[in-house]
Amino acid sequence: MIDYIKGAVADLTPAAVTIECNGIGYQMHISLNTFAAINDKTETRLYVYESIREDAHLLFGFAEKHERELFLHLISVSGVGPGTARMILSSLSSRELESVIASGDAAQLQSVKGIGGKTAQRIIVDLKDKIRFSDESGPVSSPMKEGLTATGQAAVSALVMLGFVQTASQKVIAKIIREDPTLPVEGLIKEALKRL
């Protein structure tokens, strides 16, 4: 099993990153929290989870070991796959997710796309005793340097990569930008995830 990959950031979007290591580019799916943590870096080290299926071999990357631990806990719950776990970790920070599970806040979990009432309750019941509160502060997001158009386009492409319809994503992002033009791309996506 691959524990981590360290190398140059060859390509980065809010939903995926390619890290070049010894002449090989490894593409990894990432959460918005990891995107925010590595956004301004030229080199990084990401902790890896390998998803090996009959039809695909996927890598998921995490800036923090703790985020990977939470991801592993989430996919251990029946009905929660890697894509859904990444969506949860893009909508909530690691600390927010721990707090939601510890307090039994099913409504907050249901605000994430693809999480219904039964799945939210299952996550809370299955993980309440496994989750430990971390003292680590989550990654701090920094505003993007691009103009609003580029920021909006990056947010829309990330939403499309996460499985949302492009036209609906464009409408929601345009509305959010009108309401708050200063939001960075990860802020736009987090807000859009609540509205789509």
Q: Residue 177 is part of a domain; what is its CATH number?
A: 1.10.8.10
DSSP string computed for 62-114:
ESSHHHHHHHHHHHTSTT--HHHHHHHHHHS-HHHHHHHHHHT-HHHHHTSTT
**Contact assessment for residue 141 and residue 36, using Cβ atoms and an 8 Å cutoff:** yes
Please give the tally of structural domains in the chain.
3
Task: Find the domain containing 44 and state its range.
Answer: 4-62
153 and 104 share one domain: no
CATH number, position 104: 1.10.150.20
pLDDT band at 142 (very low <50, low <70, confident <90, very high): very low
93 and 44 share one domain: no
pLDDT over 90 at 140, yes or no: no
Give residue-wise pLDDT tens across range 20-61.
999 999 999 999 999 999 998 999 999 999 998 889 899 999
pLDDT band at 132 (very low <50, low <70, confident <90, very high): low
Beta bridge partners of 48: 61
| Structural domain contains residue 55 | yes
pLDDT for 133 equals: 56
pLDDT for 144 equals: 34
pLDDT for 143 equals: 33
What residues have CB less than 8 Å from 91, skipping those under 6 apart?
A: 32, 111, 112, 190, 193, 194
pLDDT band at 139 (very low <50, low <70, confident <90, very high): very low
* Residues 158-174, mean pLDDT to the nearest whole number: 82
- Residue 18 has φ and ψ, to the nearest 5°, of -115, 120
| Structural domain contains residue 140 | no
Percent of the chain with pLDDT over 90: 45
CB neighbour burial string for 2-38, b if at least 16 within 10 angstroms, e if fewer? eeebebebeebebbbbbbeeeeeebebbbbbbbbbbb
* Residues 152-181, mean pLDDT to the nearest whole number: 84
pLDDT for 120 equals: 92
| Structural domain contains residue 142 | no
CB neighbour burial string for 153-164, b if at least 16 within 10 angstroms, e if fewer? ebbbbbbeebeb
pLDDT over 60 at 113, yes or no: yes
| Structural domain contains residue 136 | no
Q: CA 20, CA 44: separation in Å to the nearest integer?
A: 10
pLDDT over 50 at 195, yes or no: yes
For the entire predicted model, the pTM comes to: 0.71
56 and 80 share one domain: no
| Structural domain contains residue 31 | yes
pLDDT for 170 equals: 83
